[in-house]
Amino acid sequence: MQRIRSLRGSRLRGGLGALALVAMLALAGCGGGGTTDSAGVNLGSGPLLAFIGGDGNLWLARGDGTSPHAVTTTNCPPTINCYGPPTWSPDGTQVAVFGPDKTTPTHNDIYIYNRQGILQNTIAPPNPLSSGSILWSADSKTVAFAGEPSSQTTTKNAGAQYAIIILNAASGTQTGTIPLPAPTGADATCNDTPRGGSFGSLLDRAVNGDANGFRATLSWSPDGSHVLVSGGDCSLQVQLIDKTGTVQTLNPLTAGSKALVLQAAFAPDGQHIVATQTTDTEDDLVLFDAKGNNGKVIYTDTDAPPAFAPRISAPVWSADGKTIYFMRGADIWSVGADGSNAQKLISGAATGDPLKDEAWPQPSPDGKTLAWEELTLTAADNMPRSALYVGTLTGGNPVLVDNGAVWPVWS
């Protein structure tokens, strides 16, 4: 397997920085050998996978994992991802990704490609140093990201100057912002070393694209009225924010020690929110209504977690809204949205050699296949590695798509 490319650059100070530059990449220097694109490949009409390959570029593959190929062909320096986590438009026709500006590689642009991997548009964000995950509106006409509205310089414990920046996907014109709140007293936690050393750092990046831990998730409601934002361990719990910046916090359902609601995602119909809740002694999957109220626990884990991962993380809905896939320690599990039929799908190895974590489950939109990342660490060289697999919805018949890949997403 190929070593996962790491993040480079200064660590952001405080929870606000970790939140605002979700999945931050050090893109500077990624244009050393030229930033170019492939000529395009027709992969057919079914669901497609987009991901960042072991070479740091944007890749596409068929839904069964075949025909993987690089869309961008930037000469990325070793251990550097030149491109951020990709995101498909809801209509499945376009994929957006942050990458280095073709003339000024220290600056970043948003690139939008079609299903054939042909560049459709390049958007220069208001702040050229912005990066991270990209959101699409439900009508596939606008894109958004969490960042600074301008190139202003931030300082430790600065005020709430970050926002969700909303841009027209065709023209690149900024059409609005959603103010983001600033967490308080978060610096000490946010600057902690990620759990589990190098392997924990690999896991953090593979799941969140974030060097600072399981701390940053973004989800736009299907009706476009609200955004879910999480700062997790950075002392900012999951918050439901409307277009005016009004905040509704998803409060934990327990009074247990250090109880936090860390990650969340809207159901496909927008009527519910699934979230992870953690305390010192247990983690839970919690189902809230669309307004972040009336929470109920649908699954609980009280086992001791491995050193490199939390008990429960990375929940994601099936396309029909009936099943939730999630990481449980080193394994991938699923559970019915009503809390029924919880089952382990893919087993990792929390002890022994190699250590192995099955991470970031992604069910296909047609309900036929499951994509996931397998992360390993061997004693021989203490080198963390990643690989992207596609299999059945239960993890059977796995097909290796690419060594070193991270951040797979379905069209």
Q: Is pLDDT of 25 > 50?
A: no
Contacts with 124 (C-beta within 8 Å, 6 or more apart), sequence order: 101, 107, 109, 110, 172
Determine how many CB atoms are found less than 10 A away from the CB of residue 155.
Answer: 9
Q: How confident is the model at residue 192 (pLDDT cuts 50, 70, 90)?
A: very low
- The pLDDT value recorded for residue 193 is 56
Cα distance between residue 24 and residue 131, in whole Å? 6
Cα distance between residue 189 and residue 214, in whole Å? 12
**Cα-based angle 14, 18, 20 (whole degrees, multiple of 5):** 115
* Ramachandran quadrant class, 150 (left: phi over 0; alpha: psi -120 to 50; beta: rest): beta
- The pLDDT value recorded for residue 357 is 96
Q: In what order do the strands lie in the sheet with 355-363?
A: 355-363, 369-377, 384-392, 399-403
Q: Is pLDDT of 50 > 90?
A: yes
- The answer to whether the predicted template modeling score (pTM) of the entire model surpasses 0.85 is yes
Q: Compute the mean pLDDT over every residue in the chain, rounded to the nearest whole number.
A: 83
Closest listed residue to residue 286, CA positions, set 268, 312, 306: 312
Give the position of tokens 């860390």: 262
pLDDT tens digits, one per residue of 261-313: 888 999 999 999 999 998 889 999 999 999 999 999 999 999 999 999 889 99
Q: In the chain, what are the domains?
A: 14-410 (2.120.10.30)
Closest listed residue to residue 168, CA positions, set 130, 141, 128: 141
pLDDT tens digits, one per residue of 355-381: 999 999 999 999 999 999 999 999 999
Quick check: helix, strand or coil at residue 131? coil
- Tokens found for residue 389: 């697999």
Report in angstroms the alpha-carbon separations of 184 from 216, 241, 248. Answer: 16, 17, 16
pLDDT tens digits, one per residue of 199-257: 888 887 777 665 444 445 678 899 989 998 875 445 457 889 998 889 888 989 987 77
- The pLDDT value recorded for residue 369 is 96
Cα distance between residue 148 and residue 306, in whole Å? 36
Cβ contact 265:278 at 8 Å: no
- Tokens found for residue 57: 């570029």
- The pLDDT value recorded for residue 161 is 54
